[in-house]
Structure 1
Amino acid sequence: MEMKKPICLIENTLDNKFQCNPQALEILNSISQPVVVVAVVGLYRTGKSFLMNQLAGKKSGFSLGSTIQSETKGIWMWCIPHPNKYNETLVLLDTEGLGDVEKGDQTNDNWIFALSVLLASTLVYNSMSTISNDAVEQLQYVTELTKYIKVNAEGDQTEDALYAGFFPLFLWTVRDFTLQLELNGKPITADEYLENSLKLKKGDTERIDRFNLPRECIRKYFPTRKCFVFDQPTSPRKMWKIEELSDSDLNADFVQQAKEFCQYIYNEAKIKTIKEGITATGKMLGHLVVIYMDAINSGTVPCLENAVSALAQIENSAAVLNSLSYYKEKMSQDVSLPTDTTEELSDLHGKYEKEALELFMKRSFKDKDHKHQEELAMAVVEEYKSICCKNEEESKKRSLALLQQLYTEMETKVNEGIFIRPGGYQQYKEELNRIVNQYKSTPHKGIKADAVLLDFLKDKEDLGSSILNADNTISKHQMELEVEKIKQETMEQERKAAEEKHKELKQNLLDQERTHKENLEQYMEKAESERQKYIQEQNAILDAKLKEQQQLINEGFAKKSESMAHEIQALRYQIANAGRGGGRCVII
C-alpha cells in the first residue's frame, strides 16, 4: 500500500490515553517486508519534521508549521520503499515535540519518548545550537526509561546490558550549529564532539551526580551513537516558507549535510529487530504498537519479554495457518487422484510437507515447547490422511465404474439366462476373463484396483457356481478341477490385494518416519540459528560494555569501571553456555 503522505499512528485521547489509528495499522498489516524504523524525537519547534521529509525525499509531508505552536501531535507515520534496499520498507515516525508549553504534560512526553525507543531501530534526537549541559539535561527522558520500559517480566530490571541489547541506534542531530568543531585547538569530528559532551565529571556531590546521570544513561542505554551537525538552512525571514524553497534557495552547506545524514540512514540504519535478532515486518510492527498501547492504557509498564511472547503467539499461529494453506494449495494443484501408486502420492506429500515446514520455520519464533510446530505437523498429517482417503475412494469409484461399464453387456446375457444351457459355462468363463483382462489393462485405476476386482470376482462366485452346476456337458471330475481353479484364482487375487494393502501400510510407516526426521532436523537447524543470533546479540552487548569500561578507565573512573566487571563476567558466562540444556525434542 503506497502512502502519498504521512498518517497519524498514535494519538492522544481526551482522557489523556493513547489510541492507535486503525487505518495506520491496516497499512502496517499490509507490509510483509522487513522494516527499517526511524523515529525522531526532541523539543518542539526544532525542525524534526523537516528532517523526516528529507528522508522521505519530499519537500512536504510531515507538517512543519511556521509559528511557535507545536504542529505534530502524537506519533505520525510515513511508510516508503527503502531508497537503497528493494526488499525493505522504510518507516518514518515523527513524534510530538517534547516540552510543549501548551500541553505541559511530562508523563505524556516520557511515554512518547519511550514508545519511540520501543518502536525504532534508529532513534534521532534533534536539538538546537550546541550539545551544551542544558541540551543534555533536556534529554532527561533517558533517565526515566527504566520506569517506562521493562525488558523481562521478572528479574533485575536495573541490569543496563538488558536495555542496551535492544535499544536502537542513537543519532544526535544538532540544528543551526554555529561553532567550530575544534577541541583544544584541534579539529574534531561530530562524533568526537558528542563523546566529549558525554564525558563524566569526578566527584561525589549532588550537583556532579545530577550532571553525570543523563550522560551515564545515554552511554549505557545507547552504546552505538553518532552525531550530525547542521548549519542554519536559510535566513530566519525565509524559514516560515521552507517547504516552498528549492535546494538552490537553501544554504549549500546545509544541503550537503542533509544529504550526508540521509545517506547515512539509508546505508547504516538496520532492520528493526526484537529480542535475539528476530526480524520485524510491518505487520509485526503493527502488532507491537497495539500490544504496547494496551499495556500503557491498562496502567502497566510495557514489557519487551511479554510483548515478544504475545507477538510470537500471533505470528506463530498465523505461520501455522499460512504454511498449512500452502501445503493444501500445492497438493491440490499437483495431485491428480487417484494416483497409480502410494509412492507417487507420498513423494508429493514429502516434498510439500518439507516446504510448508520451511515456510513455518522462516516466519515463526519463540515457539515455546515447539507447540506450533507440532500443531502444523499434526495438521499436515491429518490433511494427508484425508487426501489418502480421497485417493482410495476415487480409486474405488473409478474401478467400480470401469467394471460396471465392462460388465454391462454380460449382465444383460445373465439376466436373459443365456449362460444356463449346455456349454454355457465355457462361454461365461470366456466373457468373464475378457472383462478381467480388459479391466487389468486399463490404466489409472488407482491403488484399490486389485481390492475392487477381488470384491467383484467374489460377488460373481455364486453366479458362476450356478452356471457350472447347470452345465450337464461338464463331468464331475472337470467340475472339481474348475472349482479348484476358481479357488486358486481367488487366492491369487487375494494375495495381490493383500500385497497392495501391505505396501500402503509400509508406506504409512515410512511417511511417519520421514515426518519425524524432517521436523527434528528443521527444529535442530532453527535452534542452532537462534543460538547463533543470541550469541551475536550478546557479543555486541559485551563489546559495547568493554568499550564503555575502557572509556571509564581512560577518564579516570576506576571504581565505576570495576562495578561493570560483574556484568561483563555474567555476559561472558551466558555466551559460553548459550544453548546448553536444550529443550524437548519434537515428537510427531
Structure 2
Amino acid sequence: MASEIHMPEPVCLIENTRTKGLVVQQEALQVLSGITQPVVVVAITGLYRTGKSYLMNRLACQRKGFSLGSGVQSHTRGIWMWCVPHPCKPGHTLVLLDTEGLGDVEKGDMKNDMWIFVLTVLLSSTLIYNSKGTIDQQAVDQLHYVMKLTEQVKLKAAPEQSEDELEDSENVAPIFPTFVWTVRDFTLQLEVDGKEISEDEYLENALKLKAGSSPETQRYNQPRECICQFFRDRKCFVFYQPAHRRDLVRLEELPDDEIDCEFQQQVEKFCSHIWEKSPPKTIPCGRTITGTLLGKLAESYVETIRSGAVPCLETAVLALAKTVNAAAVKEAVTLYQDLMERRVKLPTETVQELLDLHTQCERETLELFQKQAFEEEICSFLADLTCQVEAIKDKFCRDNEQASHEKCEATLRDLFQDLDRKITDGVYNVPGHTTMCHCL
C-alpha cells in the first residue's frame, strides 16, 4: 500500500511570474511524484477577494493554510497546491488547488487569467466557481468570459472530428470536471413565487434560457447554453455572511462561537459533498490519474502554453502515455531479469527446462506491463519490451550453455584426476611395460 502524503502547508504548483509567465515549481512536482495513489483534484476559481482560500482550508480540515489575506489585493498568485489524505476515500489523496483570483486590475496583463482557468479545468476532477452576492447576469458573464478560451482546448482535444460534430457537446463535455457554484455572502431568500426552492434549483433557474430569438435574448442565452452544455454535473451552495464585517479580516482565527452557526452548517454540508461526491481524476481514455501523472500533465500543459500554443488534451495524453509506457517497459524488464535470476539455476538439466522457465517469467512480465501501460501507442513499447526480454533470454541461454560446458569439464577433470592417481599408484597395468611381481 502506498504511504500517505503529509504536507504541513500548501506549496506553489504553477507560479504566475511577471517576467517568465507561468512556471511549474519543482518542489510541487517532487511532492506529486511521491503520490502513487489515485488523486481527487478539487480546484477553486473565481474573482479575487471572494474568500476562495477559506473554503479550501476547510476542505483540508484546517483553519489555516492557503493565504486568506485581509485587504483588497489578491494574495494567491498562480496555482497553489495542498495534498492531504482523503477524508472519505481510503487509498486516495485529495489534491486541493487554490487559484489566483480573476479580474485583479493591479496585475495589468490579464492574459494569464484565462490560462490559469484553462489549467484549472484541465487538471481538476471537480471545479468550484466562487462568486459573491447572487448568481446574476454579471456573474454568468464572468464565468463565460474565462470559458471562451477553453473552447479552443476542446476543439484541439478531438482533432479528427469536424466542427459540425464538435458542436455536439457529447464529444467534449467529458473533458470538463464536475462543477460546483458557491455563492458567498448570499443576499436573497431561496424562494420563487413564494415557494421555497433548493440551492440547486436556484442555480438551474439562474441558468434557464429565455424564449425568443431577439439579439438581446441570444446574448442572454449564449453564456447559459455554454455553461449547461459543458458543465453537465452541476451543484450549488450558498453561504450567508459568516461574521460581522469587522471580524471578516480575521475569519481564520475566529472561534466557532463567533462564527454564524448557519454559515458553519453550510460549510459542513459543502465539505461533505465535495469529499463524498468528487470523483478521482481521470483522462478521456478512462485511466485514473495518480499524483505522479498529475505532475506530468501539469508540466505538459504549461510547456505548451509557454510555447505560444493552446493546450491539447489529446497531445498531452499521448505524451503522458509515452512517459508511462517507457517506465512500464523498464519496470517489466527489471521484473523479468529478477524472476529469471531467482528461478533459473544454471546449468539446467535440459534446454527445454530453461525455455519453460522463460515462458513463465515472460507471462508475468507481460501481465505487469499490460497493467501499468496506457493503450495509446502501446504496440511500439510492447515490441521494445519483447526485444529486451528476448535479449536477456538469449544471454541466459548462452550462460546456460557455458555453465553446462564448464560443469562437464569439471566432471571430466575429476574423473581423470582419479584415473591418473590410480595409474601413478600402479593400480593399473600400463601397456609396453613389464609388470613387476614380488615373490616371497
The TM-score normalised by the length of structure 2 is 0.91
- Post-superposition Cα deviations, 1:46-103, rounded to whole Å, max 9, x if no partner, equal 1111111111111111111111110000001111111122211111110000001211
Aligned to 2:71: 67
Q: Does 1:172 align with 2:181?
A: yes
Aligned to 1:386: 395
How far residue 219 of structure 1 moved from its aligned partner, in angstroms, is: 0.7
How far residue 259 of structure 1 moved from its aligned partner, in angstroms, is: 1.5
| Range that drifts further, 189-198 or 337-346 | 337-346
Change (3 A) 1:406 1:357: same
> Is the 1:35–1:280 contact (alpha carbons within 8 Å) kept by the matching residues of 2?
yes
- Gap regions ≥5 residues in structure 2: 436-440
Aligned to 2:53: 49
Aligned to 2:80: 76
CA distance in 1, matches of 2:91, 2:433: 82
SS of the residue 2:157 aligns to: coil
> Is the 1:191–1:226 contact (alpha carbons within 8 Å) kept by the matching residues of 2?
yes
Alignment of 1:84-483 (within 5 A): 84-139=88-143, 140-149=145-154, 150-156=156-162, 158-159=166-167, 160-342=169-351, 344-368=353-377, 370-414=379-423, 416=424, 418=426, 421=429, 424=430, 470=432
Change (3 A) 1:349 1:210: same
- Amino acid of the residue matched to residue 12 of structure 2? C
> Is the 2:153–2:313 contact (alpha carbons within 8 Å) kept by the matching residues of 1?
no
User: Highest CA radius of gyration, 1 or 2?
Assistant: 1
- Post-superposition Cα deviations, 1:133-155, rounded to whole Å, max 9, x if no partner, equal 12111212123321355212454
How far residue 472 of structure 1 moved from its aligned partner, in angstroms, is: 10
- Gap regions ≥5 residues in structure 1: 425-466, 474-588
- Post-superposition Cα deviations, 1:502-539, rounded to whole Å, max 9, x if no partner, equal xxxxxxxxxxxxxxxxxxxxxxxxxxxxxxxxxxxxxx
CA distance in 2, matches of 1:402, 1:266: 70
- Amino acid of the residue matched to residue 34 of structure 1? P
For the aligned residue pairs, the C-alpha RMSD in angstroms reads: 2.2
> Is the 1:309–1:366 contact (alpha carbons within 8 Å) kept by the matching residues of 2?
no
How far residue 128 of structure 1 moved from its aligned partner, in angstroms, is: 0.9
Change (3 A) 1:404 1:367: farther
How far residue 250 of structure 1 moved from its aligned partner, in angstroms, is: 1.7
Aligned length: 426
CA distance in 2, matches of 1:471, 1:211: 122
- Amino acid of the residue matched to residue 204 of structure 1? S
> Is the 2:10–2:66 contact (alpha carbons within 8 Å) kept by the matching residues of 1?
yes
The TM-score normalised by the length of structure 1 is 0.69
How far residue 16 of structure 1 moved from its aligned partner, in angstroms, is: 5.5
CA distance in 1, matches of 2:267, 2:123: 24
> Is the 1:201–1:211 contact (alpha carbons within 8 Å) kept by the matching residues of 2?
yes
How far residue 419 of structure 1 moved from its aligned partner, in angstroms, is: 7.4
How far residue 283 of structure 1 moved from its aligned partner, in angstroms, is: 1.2
How far residue 347 of structure 1 moved from its aligned partner, in angstroms, is: 4.3
CA distance in 1, matches of 2:256, 2:200: 26
Aligned to 2:29: 25
How far residue 341 of structure 1 moved from its aligned partner, in angstroms, is: 4.4
> Is the 1:367–1:373 contact (alpha carbons within 8 Å) kept by the matching residues of 2?
no
Aligned to 1:462: none
How far residue 381 of structure 1 moved from its aligned partner, in angstroms, is: 2.3
- Amino acid of the residue matched to residue 229 of structure 1? V
> Is the 1:143–1:217 contact (alpha carbons within 8 Å) kept by the matching residues of 2?
no
SS of the residue 1:165 aligns to: helix
| Range that drifts further, 153-162 or 226-235 | 153-162
Quick one: which of 15, 36, 41 aligns to 2:19? 15
- Amino acid of the residue matched to residue 43 of structure 1? L
> Is the 2:325–2:378 contact (alpha carbons within 8 Å) kept by the matching residues of 1?
no
Change (3 A) 1:411 1:135: same
